Amino acid sequence: MDKIVLITGATSGIGEACAKKFAADGDHLIITGRRAERLQKLTAELENNYGVKILPLVFDVQDRQAVESTLGTLTAEWQQIDILINNAGLASGRASFENADMNDWETMLNTNVYGLLYVSKAIVPFMIARKKGHIINMGSIAGKEVYENGNVYCASKFAVDAINKAMRIDLLKHNI
């Protein structure tokens, strides 16, 4: 295999666009998402249009055990991940702080922050073993500037920005 790219949240939006671009460039993909039918449809499209290998994995990045058990059982061939794109994310609830639903807050933090950490923690050992890799954590302008009713979503994206900076410092010694 040539380059292997793992993309979380690949079933729509930026994640799907990234999958199509990398496949068009001839890279093999591990695509993840919560919706099996969308993953299967995208897998078929990419394999048919670009002739690349695709490994679709269905799990929710919020579920630490699912992340660990799924990514922990990758075959040696698929462990050779060159690029990890942590794209899975969401914005739940658009209420002002005093009216916000705490379940929305937990969902956003569990997906946007913890999901990114769970997936990265599972993949980084493969990159360290190879002494190379790239990690792209999708942020947002909401991680630089807050806006009305964006309270916890903005906080989650500020966290992603801080995690990006800290991961770079910690992992640069491994050529990641």
In the predicted model, what is the mean pLDDT of residues 30-48? 98
Determine which one of 50, 114, 118, 153 is catalytic: 153
Number of domains forming the structure of the chain: 1
- Residue given tokens 């075959």 in the structure block: 75
Question: Whole-prediction pTM value?
Answer: 0.96
Cα(55)–Cα(40) distance, rounded to whole angstroms? 10
Asked if pLDDT for residue 1 goes beyond 70, the answer is no
Q: Is 50 a catalytic residue?
A: no
Tell me the percentage of the chain whose pLDDT exceeds 70: 99
Q: What pLDDT digit, counting tens, does each position of 87-98 carry?
A: 999 999 889 999
Q: Count of H helices and E strands in the chain? A: 6, 5
- Tell me, what CATH number does 150's domain have? 3.40.50.720
Full residue range of the structural domain in which residue 116 is found:
4-174
